[in-house]
Amino acid sequence: DTAVSQTPKYLVTQMGNDKSIKCEQNLGHDTMYWYKQDSKKFLKIMFSYNNKELIINETVPNRFSPKSPDKAHLNLHINSLELGDSAVYFCASSQFRLAGFANTGELFFGEGSRLTVL
């Protein structure tokens, strides 16, 4: 009954390979995110989707392509992996509230997926 679940939790792969990380949330939220925590421990937003629509797209290489088949899923596909892609990738979700209600930025995170590129 995990609220935000990511698979796989660990991924070790060679440079140049293509890999995907899947994320699913059962909280009924309509907004999902991918964050990257690099070796310096910075937690940086990469993408955000609301109801399958891209709403935030930070300066991320084109090799990263998010896909949201429905509002409960946000997958991350990475092409031609590089050493610098090694990081922990966190999926998160939130519920967007309409006008009159505060959108505070409270996020619900998954446990993270540690990607190691050799």
Partner 1 sequence: DQQVKQNSPSLSVQEGRISILNCDYTNSMFDYFLWYKKYPAEGPTFLISISSIKDKNEDGRFTVFLNKSAKHLSLHIVPSQPGDSAVYFCAASARVSGGYQKVTFGIGTKLQVIP
Binding residues for partner 1, per CB under 8 A? 4, 31, 35, 40-45, 48, 50, 55-56, 90, 92, 94, 96, 99, 102-112
**Amino acid (one-letter) located at 82:** E
* Contact partners, residue 40, CB within 8 Å, separation at least 6: none
Give 70 or 106: the residue with its C-beta nearer to partner 1.
Answer: 106
Give 41 or 83: the residue with its C-beta nearer to partner 1.
Answer: 41
Give 51 or 80: the residue with its C-beta nearer to partner 1.
Answer: 51
Give me the least distance between CB of 28 and partner 1, in Å please. 17
